[in-house]
A and B are shown apart, each in its own frame.
Chain A
Amino acid sequence: MIKAEISDKMRNLRDGYSSALIELGHQNNDVVAVDADLALSTKTKRFGTVFPDRFFDFGIAEANMMSVAAGLATCGKVVFASTFAVFATGRCYDQIRQSIAYPELNVKIVATHAGISVGGDGASHQMLEDMALMRALPNMRVIAPADAIEVEEVIPAIAEQPGPFYVRMGRADAPVIFDKHRPFEIGTAVPLREGSDVAVIATGTMTAEALRAHDLLQQDDVDAKVIHMPTVKPVDADAVRHAAEETGCILTCEEHSVIGGLGDAVAAAMADRPVPLQRVAINDVFGESGEARALMEKYGLTADNIAMQARRLIELKQ
């Protein structure tokens, strides 16, 4: 078990990104960052302030930015390309496919403002299918960190591993759940709570909700296993299978469409040894404007709903 608690301490994952990127920039002269006129929001601007020569803001021209990143990578640069998730993966799908994933170039796409918790900007900016798009690409690996501490470990880990990555983060501040930094292992599940009644597998900041759900379920004497799955591709299939065997039912949680994200990855991993599976995710609809927390509640991305779905699932199992 890895120690994780819901703390009162809130931190923005983007702050973790910029601090890790700057640290990386000090260690490696080949680290370059590119952005598309959202450098203040993605916080790559901080890297640009420290390393002005190694930062390029290409303006509101994401497609160009993504292919330039590919070109830089062919010359040995470790390129971090950032913008909002909706533009990074939606607008630039073809650039990522043709110029980054196919030639397997060393571009790390670190996208922010993923998910419905973007809030007021509404559906046009609430990217809910980014993991689906990126998971479908050969050579691409997909990571959704749980908190700012984990982001600070993910960034150096993906820099060390050649080839493309997609890292997604939300806009909102999120509770810090990890008490300390641990080297990030790509593709390895992070067990957080032991339990035998149901396995709750969560990714991104939904992991904090899963921990809260664990406590709610415990009040009813339900023992939920909680697994944080930061790497959605390649998903830790062994961990999924073990969890299925140990608990007999699985609940996945993600701030993403029910199509193509963690839920599908987990379902595929246990398809040859199926147990009842339920998915807490956005149910194939676009989002809408609203306050972040209110939207999370409206779309069921809360500890309460996770606990409720877990109870249903346990009944189904019996």
Chain B
Amino acid sequence: MHDEALVLDLRRKALQIRKHVVDSVYRAGSGHPGGSLSVADVLACLYFHEMRHDPEQPGWPDRDRLVLSKGHAAPALYAALALAGYFPEEELKELRKTGHFLQGHPCMKKVTGVDMSTGSLGQGLSAGIGMALAGRLDNKDYRVFVILGDGEIDEGQVWEAASAASHHQLSNLVAILDRNGLQIDGHTEEILSLEPIKWRWRAFGWRVLTVDGHDVEEILSALHEANQNDKPTLIIAYTIKGKDVSFMEGTLSFHGKPPSDEQYVKAMTELEQLEEELYD
């Protein structure tokens, strides 16, 4: 069992991330709310508990790294970074605006705290392998976390990387699969079936853990368990696309579309209500 205060705090952080996702994508007039909302709890657990990092020294060589391979969830990553103190929360309102540093997809050159530029799917796990190998070469004990989308693992490069990570026994590498079941054109099992996903990754030499991707305690336990291992770990986080916004949950329509004015108000009201309930 985890400390109750910690769990409550992480659930709050996840809701704050979600509010920023809805708000920033609405203001931007474009973006990907569905897959950003599904991954909010995982990001909260990483940035506000599991990861060793310091917003005061973003380039700290000993820090844990995070690669958001599903780069279209940038609004959630930016929200986590802002809440952690890498830059002011106010900046989130400027997402995707001309001249602003918050690019539509993560850009490590422009955004403090972003460890790897991503956006073209399928490349992040390989980049994470490079970071993990460098850590091993330098005798550093940092860990590397890579967040993959489930549609993303259609990409062949992911499987090249899956082979390489187990070949090199990268125990300092943890991939988290945001298994929300949907990709742009439909359900993952209808477009290009991924199941039996657990066995596929096990066959590639990974340790596989499964969690409810919206249960903070389960996520924390898995991240902790992944630490004591002699091979790379995949955590399959079963999630709901659009989580916590009723009309976005489990739908395809908000993969890459912002809410309308009316929907924005409704979404923010719902999220604020959930936040209030946490304080009761």
Interface residue stretch chosen among A10-18, A57-65, A234-242, A267-275:
A57-65
- The yes or no answer to B163 lying at the interface (CB within 8 A) is yes
For chain B, residues 116 to 150, give those with C-beta under 8 angstroms from any C-beta of chain A. Answer: 116-120, 122-124, 126-135, 137-138
How does the 8 Å CB contact mask read for B61-97 relative to A, with 1 for contact and 0 for none? 1000101000000000000000000000000000000
Judge whether A75 and B130 touch: CB under 8 Å: yes
Judge whether B61 and A64 touch: CB under 8 Å: no
Return the contact of B116 from the options A53, A71, A97, A104 (Cβ within 8 A).
A71
Interface residue stretch chosen among B44-52, B107-115, B180-188, B239-247:
B107-115
Min CB gap A230→B, angstroms: 28
Min CB gap B52→A, angstroms: 15
- The yes or no answer to A70 lying at the interface (CB within 8 A) is yes
Residue of A nearest to B114 (CB): A103
- The yes or no answer to B160 lying at the interface (CB within 8 A) is yes
Judge whether B61 and A69 touch: CB under 8 Å: no
Min CB gap B141→A, angstroms: 13
Which of A54, A59, A68, A102 counts the most B-chain CB atoms under 10 A from its CB?
A68
How does the 8 Å CB contact mask read for A63-81 relative to B, with 1 for contact and 0 for none? 1111111111111110100
Return the contact of A58 from the options B123, B156, B164 (Cβ within 8 A).
B164
- The yes or no answer to A56 lying at the interface (CB within 8 A) is yes
Whole-angstrom distance between the alpha carbons of A74 and B65 in the complex? 10
Residue of A nearest to B140 (CB): A75
Residue of B nearest to A104 (CB): B109
- The yes or no answer to B227 lying at the interface (CB within 8 A) is no
Residues of B within 8 A of A32 (CB): 134, 137
Judge whether B107 and A99 touch: CB under 8 Å: no
Residues of B within 8 A of A71 (CB): 67, 116, 126-134
Chain A residues packing against B (C-beta within 8 Å): 32, 53-54, 56, 58-59, 61, 63-77, 79, 94-95, 97-99, 102-104
Residue of B nearest to A64 (CB): B160
Judge whether B137 and A74 touch: CB under 8 Å: no
Known: A71-B132, A74-B65, A77-B134. 19 other contacts (CB 8 A): A54-B137, A59-B164, A61-B160, A67-B130, A67-B157, A67-B161, A71-B116, A71-B127, A71-B129, A74-B130, A74-B134, A75-B134, A95-B126, A98-B120, A98-B123, A99-B116, A102-B107, A103-B107, A103-B117
Residues of B within 8 A of A76 (CB): 61, 134, 138
Residues of A within 8 A of B67 (CB): 71
Residues of B within 8 A of A66 (CB): 126
Judge whether A72 and B108 touch: CB under 8 Å: no
Residue of A nearest to B69 (CB): A67
Whole-angstrom distance between the alpha carbons of A300 and B226 in the complex? 60
* Tally of chain B residues near chain A (CB < 8 A): 34
Judge whether A99 and B133 touch: CB under 8 Å: no
Judge whether B127 and A75 touch: CB under 8 Å: no
Judge whether B127 and A61 touch: CB under 8 Å: no
Whole-angstrom distance between the alpha carbons of A178 and B127 in the complex? 39
Chain B residues packing against A (C-beta within 8 Å): 61, 65, 67, 107-109, 115-120, 122-124, 126-135, 137-138, 156-157, 160-161, 163-164, 168
Judge whether B115 and A68 touch: CB under 8 Å: no
Residues of B within 8 A of A102 (CB): 107, 109, 117
Residue of B nearest to A97 (CB): B120
Judge whether A63 and B157 touch: CB under 8 Å: yes
Leading 10 A-B pairs by shortest Cβ distance: A71-B130, A67-B126, A75-B134, A64-B160, A71-B127, A61-B160, A72-B130, A103-B117, A68-B130, A98-B120
Judge whether B130 and A95 touch: CB under 8 Å: no
Assuming the contacts A99-B117, A102-B117, asked whether A68 and B138 have C-beta atoms less than 8 A apart, the reply is no
Judge whether A94 and B117 touch: CB under 8 Å: no
Whole-angstrom distance between the alpha carbons of A269 and B243 in the complex? 54
Min CB gap A174→B, angstroms: 33
Residues of A within 8 A of B107 (CB): 102-103
Return the contact of A68 from the options B108, B120, B164 (Cβ within 8 A).
B164
Assuming the contacts A61-B163, A61-B164, asked whether A98 and B108 have C-beta atoms less than 8 A apart, the reply is no
Residue of B nearest to A34 (CB): B130
Residues of B within 8 A of A75 (CB): 61, 130-131, 134-135, 138
Judge whether B123 and A74 touch: CB under 8 Å: no
Residues of B within 8 A of A94 (CB): 120, 123
Judge whether A67 and B108 touch: CB under 8 Å: no
Min CB gap A24→B, angstroms: 16
Whole-angstrom distance between the alpha carbons of A61 and B79 in the complex? 35
Residues of A within 8 A of B132 (CB): 71
30 A-B residue contacts at CB 8 Å?
Answer: A32-B137, A53-B137, A56-B133, A59-B163, A61-B157, A61-B163, A63-B157, A64-B129, A67-B123, A67-B127, A67-B161, A68-B133, A68-B161, A70-B116, A70-B126, A71-B130, A72-B130, A74-B116, A74-B134, A75-B135, A76-B61, A79-B130, A95-B126, A95-B157, A98-B117, A98-B119, A98-B120, A99-B126, A102-B117, A104-B109
Judge whether A73 and B130 touch: CB under 8 Å: yes
Residues of A within 8 A of B116 (CB): 70-71, 74, 99, 103
Residues of A within 8 A of B124 (CB): 67
Residues of A within 8 A of B127 (CB): 67-68, 70-71, 74, 99
Min CB gap A108→B, angstroms: 14
Judge whether A99 and B134 touch: CB under 8 Å: no
Min CB gap A162→B, angstroms: 13
Whole-angstrom distance between the alpha carbons of A316 and B61 in the complex? 61
Residues of B within 8 A of A73 (CB): 130
